[in-house]
């Protein structure tokens, strides 16, 4: 079996590549990754030179490259995406390009070659508010952020390739993952690294918003279960551990694990469109394929936090790349910021040419840099 794993240098993708080589030592895995701010070759360095492993730096939006790599694959697992809700509020266009158009490019190549199956890594965020009852796979999609909406577009595009062309597809909607190697802008590594560097832990609004948390290895096991079962019939599978916890509870657990004071929590203005509750009903995967989470939440959160404590050299160099969204949102939602590159001030314009457009971009880049973590 030869997998093409897109986004394999990111958090979940890299954990998945390591997990799959452990579970199936004779499988081959090619990684395709653009190495955006979130992609990190350190996550895969232990695999350099391993038989059956290949790394390809490139964009899933590049049809020629994608066509070549998909042609060699038996199964494509699409993790590649812009993934941070906060960033999507400021740079929505990047999300539409990678998450929707990039998925289209991959699906077209899969359809054309007629050989590989396709796993679309979607997210529970596509449901929007979970409400009283956690959504099952037939619940309506009501995404509330540009990230979630872009993922919903890709999710339904993958489904349409099954219904229209019988492309063998499966779509997974997993809840919030935690574990090693997550970019330190996301909640748990942000809290852990801030606590270790004497910074405040920014909590949006009341901090009572809840998420359903799953250890990244349980997510990988669920994906392995689906791939190994060959279940590619255009279906959706929710993946969740049923561990719902508020942001304040998570902050408390992180601080306790590191022995830091509760006073480090700082309430900041809420972000626009903030979902109160994300959760899923994952009984379909459990009853039909026998999957169940193995990691125990309290222990696994603690060991995750301790992984960041013990791997300071991994995250220290990433701090310069992160943006302080708590500051950015208190100054407005960043209208006029077009791309990540523009926000870093290093970009050539991607739209609105001319002196006025340039002035707007320069102002946006300056504003974003002011909000950046130093």
**DSSP, res 27:** -
**Span 95-134, contacts to ligand NAD by CB under 6 A:** 98, 102, 121, 123
Which spans in 144-296 are helix H?
A: 146-165, 187-196, 216-229, 247-258, 283-289
- 34 sits near ligand NAD (criterion: CB under 6 A): yes
Return the residue of 2, 35, 270, 367 that touches ligand NAD, per CB under 6 A.
35
Q: How far is the CB of 261 from ligand NAD (least distance, A)?
A: 28
Question: What dihedral angle (degrees, nearest 10) is formed by the CA atoms of 297, 302, 303, 304?
Answer: 90
Count of residues of this chain found to bind ligand NAD when the rule CB under 6 A is applied = 31
Query: Closer to ligand NAD at the Cβ: 174 or 253?
Result: 174
* CB of residue 39 to ligand NAD, shortest distance in Å: 2
Measured at the CA of 26, the angle between CA 22 and CA 31, to 5 degrees, comes to: 75
Tell me if 281 sits within 8 A of 134, measured CB to CB. Answer: yes
Q: Which is nearer to ligand NAD, 59 or 324 (CB)?
A: 59
Q: Please state, in angstroms and as integers, the Cα–Cα distance from residue 38 to each residue in 13, 107, 131, 154, 225, following that order.
A: 11, 23, 31, 20, 27
Q: Provide the β-strand partners of residue 93.
A: none
Give me the active site residues, please: 124-125, 147
Q: Give the DSSP letter of residue 335.
A: T
Based on the shown chain and the rule CB under 6 A, indicate whether residue 176 belongs to the binding site for ligand NAD. yes
Q: How far apart are CA 189 and CA 306, in angstroms?
A: 10
Between the CA of residue 172 and those of 169, 181, 200, 216, 220, what are the distances in Å?
10, 21, 35, 14, 11
Site string for ligand NAD, 237-256 (x = CB under 6 A): --------------------
Q: Which is nearer to ligand NAD, 8 or 207 (CB)?
A: 8
Segment 268 to 327, residues that bind ligand NAD, using CB under 6 A? none
User: Segment contacting ligand NAD (CB under 6 A): 36-44, 163-171, 201-209, 222-230?
Assistant: 36-44
Number of H helices, E strands in the chain: 15, 12
Q: Which span sits near ligand NAD by CB under 6 A: 31-39, 69-77, 188-196, 330-338?
A: 31-39
Chain residue at closest Cβ approach to ligand NAD? 10
Give the shortest CB-259-to-ligand NAD separation in angstroms.
Answer: 26
Can you say whether the dihedral through the CA atoms of 313, 316, 322, 326 is positive or negative?
Answer: positive
Instruction: Convert residues 331-350 into a mask of x (bound to ligand NAD by CB under 6 A) and - (unbound).
Output: --------------------
Phi and psi, residue 198, nearest 5°: 75, 20
Q: Considering the complex, what minimum distance in angstroms separates the CB of residue 360 from ligand NAD?
A: 25
* Distance of alpha carbon 80 from alpha carbon 82, whole angstroms: 7
Residues 6+ apart with CB under 8 A from 52: 21, 26, 27, 28, 29
Name which position in 20, 29, 60, 227 contacts ligand NAD (CB under 6 A).
60
Segment contacting ligand NAD by CB under 6 A, of 26-34, 190-198, 227-235, 254-262: 26-34
Determine phi and psi for 24, rounding to 5 degrees: -135, 75
> How many of the other CB atoms lie within 10 Å of CB of 135?
22
For the CB of residue 355, give the shortest distance to ligand NAD in the complex, in Å.
Answer: 30
Based on the shown chain and the rule CB under 6 A, indicate whether residue 6 belongs to the binding site for ligand NAD.
Answer: yes
CB-nearer residue toward ligand NAD: 121 or 301: 121
Nearest to 274 by CA among 175, 178, 144: 144
- Shortest reach from residue 214's CB to ligand NAD, in Å: 8
Q: Give min distance, CB of 354 to ligand NAD, in A.
A: 27
Site string for ligand NAD, 63-82 (x = CB under 6 A): ----------------xxxx
Three-state SS at 72: coil
Residue 61 CB, shortest distance to ligand NAD, in Å, is 5
Q: How many Å apart are CA 93 and CA 82, to the nearest integer?
A: 10
Which residues of the chain form contacts with ligand NAD (CB under 6 A)? Answer: 6-7, 9-13, 32-36, 38-39, 59-61, 79-83, 98, 102, 121, 123, 151, 174, 176-177, 183
């Amino acid at each position: 079996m030869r997998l093409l794993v897109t986004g394999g240098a990111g958090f979940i993708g890299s954990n998945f590549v390591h997990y799959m080589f452990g579970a199936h030592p004779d499988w081959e895995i090619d990684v395709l990754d653009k190495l955006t701010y979130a992609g990190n070759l350190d996550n895969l360095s232990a695999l350099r030179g391993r038989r059956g492993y290949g790394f390809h730096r490139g964009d899933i939006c590049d049809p020629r490259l994608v066509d070549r790599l998909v042609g060699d694959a038996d199964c494509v697992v699409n993790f590649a995406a812009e993934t941070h809700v906060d960033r999507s509020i400021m740079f929505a266009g990047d999300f539409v390009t990678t998450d929707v158009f990039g998925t289209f490019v991959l699906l077209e190549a899969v359809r054309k070659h007629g050989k590989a199956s396709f796993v679309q890594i979607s997210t529970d965020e596509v449901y929007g508010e979970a409400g009283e009852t956690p959504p099952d796979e037939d619940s309506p999609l009501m995404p509330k952020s540009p990230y979630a909406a872009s993922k919903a577009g890709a999710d339904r595009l993958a489904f349409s390739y099954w219904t229209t062309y019988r492309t063998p597809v499966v779509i997974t909607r997993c809840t919030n993952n935690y574990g090693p190697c997550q970019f330190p802008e996301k909640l748990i590594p942000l809290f852990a690294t801030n606590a270790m560097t004497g910074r405040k832990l920014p909590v949006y609004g009341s901090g009572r918003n809840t998420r359903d948390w799953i250890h990244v290895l349980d997510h990988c096991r669920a994906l392995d279960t689906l791939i190994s079962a060959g279940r590619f019939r255009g279906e959706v599978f929710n993946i969740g551990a049923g561990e719902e916890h508020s942001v304040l509870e998570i902050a408390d657990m992180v601080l306790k694990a590191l022995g830091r004071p509760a006073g480090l929590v700082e309430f900041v203005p809420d972000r626009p469109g903030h979902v109160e509750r994300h959760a899923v009903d994952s009984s379909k995967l459990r009853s039909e394929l026998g999957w169940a989470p193995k990691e125990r939440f309290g222990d696994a959160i603690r060991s995750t936090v301790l992984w960041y404590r013990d791997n300071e050299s991994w995250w220290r160099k990433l701090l310069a790349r992160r943006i302080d969204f708590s500051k950015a949102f208190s100054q407005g939602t960043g209208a006029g910021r077009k791309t990540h590159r523009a926000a870093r001030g290093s970009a050539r314009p991607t739209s609105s040419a001319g002196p006025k457009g340039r002035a707007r971009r320069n102002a946006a880049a300056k504003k974003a840099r002011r909000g950046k973590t130093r």
